[in-house]
C-alpha cells in the first residue's frame, strides 16, 4: 500500500500550522506558495483536514488556517484517516473466487483467511501510526523538545534568521 501525495501535502500543512503561532492564521496563499501545488487540490486537502478536526478555517481579512489541536494530540494516523479514509490494503476484487470457482467452499475460505490476515495487518499498522504524534516527529527532526514558532506569513528574510538558528542548534547537538 502506498499513501497518496495528498497525505504528504496534508502532513506538510499540519507541520506548518504546528510551527505557527496558533493566534496567527496562515493564509491559504502562503500555504499554496510553500507547497507549490494546485490551489484547487490544496483546498480539497485543507477541507478534509478541517472536517477531520485537525485544522480550523478562520475567516476575515487576516484569516487563513490554524491548527485545531495541540501537535501532541494529533497522530500520523489522524492525518491518514482525514486524507485517505479507512485503510484497507487488500483489494478483494473476487479474483480468488473466480480462479478457484471449481472449488467454491475452499475459495470462500481462502478469501476469508486472506481478508483476515490483511485486516490484522491494517490494525497493527494503524496502531503504530496512532502512537506517533506530530509533536514527536517535529521534535525528533529538530532535536529539541520545544517546537519553535515561525510566522510563515512573514517575509523570507525574517524566517531565514530563525531557520539559521535552528540549523545551528541541530548541528551543535550532533
Residue 112 located in a structural domain: no
Nearest to 81 by CA among 19, 1, 13, 3: 3
pTM above 0.75, yes or no: yes
Residue 24 located in a structural domain: yes
- Per-residue model confidence (pLDDT) at position 137: 96
Residue 64 located in a structural domain: yes
pLDDT band at 95 (very low <50, low <70, confident <90, very high): very high
Give the sign of the dihedral formed by CA 143, CA 149, CA 152, CA 158. Answer: negative
**Domain count along the chain:** 1
CATH number of residue 42's parent domain: 1.10.10.10
Grid-cell match 517535529, residue found: 138
Whether 169 has a pLDDT exceeding 80, the answer reads no
**For the segment 32-58, what is each residue's pLDDT rounded down to a tens digit?**
999 998 889 999 999 999 999 999 999
Residue 58 located in a structural domain: yes
Question: Average pLDDT, whole number, for the chain?
Answer: 90
- Per-residue model confidence (pLDDT) at position 173: 61
SS3 per-residue string spanning the chain: CCCCHHHHHHHHHHHHHHCCCCCCCECHHHHHHHHCCCHHHHHHHHHHHHHCCCEEEECCCCCEEEECCCHHHCEHHHHHHHHHCCCCCCCCCCHHHHHCHHHHHHHHHHHHHHHHHHHHHHHHHHHHHHCCEHHHHHHHHHCCCCCCCCCCCCCHHHHHHHHHHHHHHHHHHC
Residue 115 located in a structural domain: no
Quote the domain boundaries for residue 70: 5-87+133-173
- Helical pair 5-18 and 76-84, crossing angle rounded to 10 deg: 130
**For residues 144-169, average pLDDT:** 77
Amino acid at each position: 500500500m502506498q499513501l497518496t501525495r495528498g497525505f504528504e501535502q496534508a502532513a506538510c500543512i499540519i507541520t506548518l500550522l504546528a510551527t505557527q503561532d496558533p493566534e496567527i492564521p496562515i493564509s491559504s496563499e502562503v500555504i499554496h506558495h510553500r507547497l507549490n501545488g494546485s490551489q484547487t487540490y490544496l483546498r480539497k486537502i485543507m477541507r478534509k483536514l478541517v472536517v477531520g478536526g485537525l485544522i480550523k478555517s478562520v475567516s476575515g481579512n487576516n484569516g487563513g488556517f490554524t491548527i485545531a489541536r495541540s501537535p501532541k494530540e494529533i497522530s500520523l494516523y489522524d492525518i491518514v484517516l482525514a486524507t485517505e479514509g479507512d485503510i484497507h490494503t487488500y483489494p478483494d476484487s473476487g479474483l480468488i473466487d473466480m480462479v478457484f470457482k471449481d472449488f467454491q467452499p475452499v475459495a470462500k475460505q481462502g478469501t476469508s483467511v486472506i481478508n483476515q490476515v490483511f485486516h490484522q495487518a491494517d490494525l497493527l499498522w494503524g496502531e503504530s501510526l496512532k502512537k506517533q504524534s506530530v509533536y514527536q516527529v517535529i521534535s525528533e527532526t529538530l532535536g529539541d523538545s520545544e517546537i519553535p514558532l515561525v510566522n510563515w506569513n512573514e517575509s523570507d528574510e525574517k524566517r531565514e534568521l530563525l531557520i539559521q538558528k535552528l540549523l545551528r542548534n541541530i548541528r551543535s547537538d550532533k
